[in-house]
Structure 1
Amino acid sequence: MIIGQAFGWVFDPANYAGPDAVPARLWEHIWISLLAVLIASVIAIPIGYAIGHTGKARGFAIALSGGIRALPTLGVLTLVGLLLGANLQAPLLALVVLAIPSVLAGAYAGIESVEPVTVDAARAQGMTGWQILTKVEIPLGLPLLVGGVRAAVLQVVATATLAAYVGSGGLGGYVFLGLKTQDYAMMLGASILVIALAIAFEIVFSVLQRAVVPAGVAERPTRRRSGSRERPHTPIPEGTPS
């Protein structure tokens, strides 16, 4: 019963008109999430590339990422909200902290995934360390980086509902309003919209992650499989006993 009422709320035309309508809240939710991941990427990607390329401070980065993951987002949001006030800065900072570990892990794991033989071959051709990083390691590690950003986006989209906890908008506003007024159909309907948004981002980043795989790397398994199926035929000379 409540599920049917929730879908009825989602598709109710009355919820799609006015400044507090679903499209406005949905847009707030999207841009808050993407802005948080963008800021986290600007911070974490250069650090991750430096760690992956040099091999230094990897243990510290793993420990730091694990520590950040263990932080309760609602607690961080509440603390920052008390310090900065009820505005966009509090949830944005909390979401950035949430997104950094996944992006950082994707960045240095992508660089570390490049085979040492490939790096040695590039160095043997006279490439500098910067050229190896930009022309070899980053392109080959890009799928893992996109995978890290993909995980960060999904985490942030799911957690951005807490932005409404300090009055910063988003689909979470319906959740807290429904909780306050005991309108559980509104709460579940808003949750359905968040789930649908997460699925949409999952599809987009899944396609993007496949698209950034270098052509030579994508074709390599195909050549191996075709080579294993099609063996060259060696003619048997006449007179040779079978």
Structure 2
Amino acid sequence: MRRNLVEAVFVPLFLFLVVFPVVALLFHLNPEGIRRTLADSFFWMSVKNTILAALAAAALSLFLAVGFGYYHLFKQHSYFYRLANLMNDLPIALPHTVAGLALLLAFGRKTMGFLGSTGLAFTLTAVVLAMFFVSYPLAARALAAAVDRMEKELIEVARTLGDTPVEAYFKVALPTMGEALFAGFILAFSRSISEFAAVIMFGGNLPARTQVLASYVFTKVEEGELGMAVTASAFCILLSLVVVSLLWLGKVGKQRA
């Protein structure tokens, strides 16, 4: 009876609140909007910027996440670990407009003016940093979860054989966390391609320069080009499905192995 009640509530709410908005968007696709969007060079530049910046942000996220994994394994009682663990959660709770403003003040012309008239702001590097800021916590949590699941006896054996903590981490721990490394990268990448607020605050929305898919959709809605906005949104959905499929295939491959 309880299971039937859960199904009776969950299924219609899930279909209405999660599936229906996506279907509604796809039903608004029209040939003219598709044609104009695919012929728009700024659209393809936004696709290029999105993928390149998201890949760079995901790589940087994974690089730092590996460092956090080391601290999570060996340095949980250190003050720096406690600070890092706290800051890992902050970007998740922080409004992303605030994150964008913080990045702008930290890396804008007042502090990084020697790099250019705007510092790092309103460049593709700014887009990467904005994406990294919001996606890094996902990669860090993926590595921390893998550390929690691994057999600590392997580390203890390596330590008794004379390995330093760093050697044990890179020679023993990391090779067992291939799935977590892959998942951390994919999660960071998927979060990066969806970011809007921090990107537009710090990187701006300069067509062909710092414009990404999310800001392209926003621009087309502002311009009243709903057909083009819908087409670009459908492309985002397709790209997201590809990324989610990669994550799913990775899990399936792990289970079969």
TM-score normalised by length of structure 2? 0.68
Within-5 A mapping of 1:83-122:
83=108, 84=118, 85-122=121-158
Q: 1:78 to 1:54 in 2, by over 3 A?
A: closer
Shift in Å, 1:208: 4.2
For 1:183-236, what per-residue CA distance to the aligned partner results, in whole angstroms no more than 9, with x for missing partners? 22322222221121111112224334565x5xxx975xxxxxxxxxxxxxxxxx
Matching residue of 1:166: 205
AA in 2 matched with 1:149: F
AA in 2 matched with 1:34: L
Within-5 A mapping of 1:46-85:
46-57=67-78, 58-81=81-104, 83=108, 84=118, 85=121
Partners of 2:128 and 2:167 in 1: CA distance: 35
Q: Indicate yes or no: 2:59 matched with 1:24.
A: no
For 1:121-145, what per-residue CA distance to the aligned partner results, in whole angstroms no more than 9, with x for missing partners? 4445x25134432232112223223
Q: Is the 8 A contact 1:33 1:156 kept in 2?
A: yes
Matching residue of 2:56: 35
For structure 1, the 5+ residue unaligned runs are 220-242
- Structure number with bigger Rg: 1
Comparing 66-75 with 158-167, greater Cα deviation is found at 158-167
Q: 1:190 to 1:19 in 2, by over 3 A?
A: closer
Partners of 2:195 and 2:32 in 1: CA distance: 22
SS in structure 2 at match of 1:86: coil
AA in 2 matched with 1:62: N
CA RMSD in angstroms comes to: 3.1
Identity within the alignment, %: 17
For structure 2, the 5+ residue unaligned runs are 1-23, 109-117
Q: Is the 8 A contact 1:154 1:201 kept in 2?
A: yes
Shift in Å, 1:34: 0.9
Partners of 1:80 and 1:11 in 2: CA distance: 35
TM-score normalised by length of structure 1? 0.71
